[in-house]
Amino acid sequence: MADQVRDVAIIGGGPAGLSAGLYLCRSKVDTVLFEQELTGGQAVYSPLIENYPGFPDGIPGAELIEKIKTQAERFGLETTTFARVEGIEDGGKVRTLLLENGQVTARAVIIASGRSPRKMGIPGEDEYTGRGISYCATCDAPLFREKVVMVIGGGDAAVEEALHLTRFASKVILVHRRDELRASAYLKERAHAEPKLEFVWNSVLAEVKGDKTVQAAVVVNKETDEQTEISVSGVFIYVGNVPNSSFVADLVELDDAGYIKTDETMATGVPGIFVAGDVRANQFKQVIISAAEGALAASSAQRYLERIGARKAYGGAAVW
């Protein structure tokens, strides 16, 4: 890749990264965004986002992301997909992003690398992933028409995706380790009113069995230790997420769960390195919050460039 020093490099093409790109490019800051897969992040897997303002009927995650991306590209955001950043070398005035097949140097970096679904580490999980086990009902629900499927977890993601699955499956069994859902009140209410949705409380998934594809799930009641084998064709796992921060673990400060700590301007302890979205140590993981943090990180990065004399206040090209 070119030796040219970019103003800002963004890592991650979800709502946080794309919003940061939109803000920076609209301010004519030379910006490049790297995304390890396709743009969109976890939000593209949401069948319907009902709490992003401006869309009174809700909007599918993939459609919302496409709109944000189109908006950012209109202002000239340059995006490289399937470009995984494996580390960042801090050279003081500039930072070098280490990619699988090259390096890119930038004056400021915004880390918006998000999170990935957490695996359960149970027997059968790796073996049947893609053969009946899925972490994305939005992607795979149509494969389970008129079949019985199981959803693991009691958070917003599990309930939202279980509700989506009821449009396809004959029955959806939601297994949760407690006797109450963690999901928001609105989702809870809809879940309890859905006739195709059954609940197995105080229980955890212990094993997934099958031959070529999933045939059954073994569930253990935590209070009685009783094991039950339930015939299912699919198992959808939503037991939380892990932050994609290991590639910068030596560079920035992480909290106990691996989320990156920042101040309220999205700045890390390393000058010129900012963080936005789900990988940041914040309490609420929502698309609107990621988008807002992207805008904040972009504004802070811009101020940083002005402070170090790399950019004139109120716009203008880099001066060094």
Catalytic residues: 136, 139-140
| Contacting residue, 147, 182, 196, 261, with ligand NAP by CB under 6 A | 182
The closest of 262, 304, 296, 303 to 279, measured between CA atoms, is: 262
Closer by beta carbon to ligand NAP, 131 or else 182: 182
Closer by beta carbon to ligand NAP, 76 or else 258: 258
Per CB under 6 A, 106 contacts ligand NAP: no
Q: How far apart are CA 320 and CA 305, in angstroms?
A: 11
Using CA atoms, how far residue 153 sits from 8, 58, 188, 231, in Å, is: 38, 23, 13, 18
CB of 70 to ligand NAP, least distance (A): 23
CA-based angle 89:94:97, to the nearest 5? 40
Closer by beta carbon to ligand NAP, 241 or else 245: 241
The one segment of 22-30, 105-113, 261-269, 284-292 that binds ligand NAP by CB under 6 A: 284-292
Largest CA distance in the chain: 69
The answer to whether the CB of 163 falls within 8 A of the CB of 194 is yes
Residue that has been written with the tokens 């999170």 in this structure: 115
The closest of 190, 195, 204 to 235, measured between CA atoms, is: 204
| Contacting residue, 178, 192, 307, 312, with ligand NAP by CB under 6 A | 178
Q: How far apart are CA 23 and CA 77, in angstroms?
A: 10
String of contacts with ligand NAP for each residue 294-313, x by CB under 6 A? --------------------
String of contacts with ligand NAP for each residue 193-232, x by CB under 6 A? -----------x----------------------------
Q: Which of residues 46-75 bind ligand NAP (CB under 6 A)?
A: 51
Residue nearest to ligand NAP (CB): 155
Per CB under 6 A, 240 contacts ligand NAP: yes
Per CB under 6 A, 177 contacts ligand NAP: yes
Per CB under 6 A, 239 contacts ligand NAP: yes
Task: Please state, as a whole number, how many other Cβ atoms lie within 10 Å of the Cβ of residue 103.
Answer: 11
CB of 51 to ligand NAP, least distance (A): 5
Q: How far apart are CA 137 and CA 63, in angstroms?
A: 16
| Contacting residue, 79, 241, 268, 282, with ligand NAP by CB under 6 A | 241
Residue 300: strand, helix, or coil: helix
Closer by beta carbon to ligand NAP, 35 or else 156: 156
Per CB under 6 A, 120 contacts ligand NAP: yes
Q: How far apart are CA 22 and CA 203, in angstroms?
A: 44
Residue 180: is it exposed, middle or buried by C-beta count within 10 angstroms (0-12/13-18/19+)? exposed
Give the tokens for residue 287: 């698309």
CA atoms within 13 A on the CB side of 91: 12
String of contacts with ligand NAP for each residue 125-164, x by CB under 6 A? ---------------------------xxxxxxx-x----
Closer by beta carbon to ligand NAP, 128 or else 238: 238
The answer to whether the CB of 277 falls within 8 A of the CB of 17 is yes
Binding residues for ligand NAP, rule CB under 6 A, total 21
Residue 153: strand, helix, or coil: coil
Per CB under 6 A, 280 contacts ligand NAP: no
Binding site for ligand NAP (CB under 6 A): 51, 120, 152-158, 160, 177-178, 182, 204, 238-241, 284-286
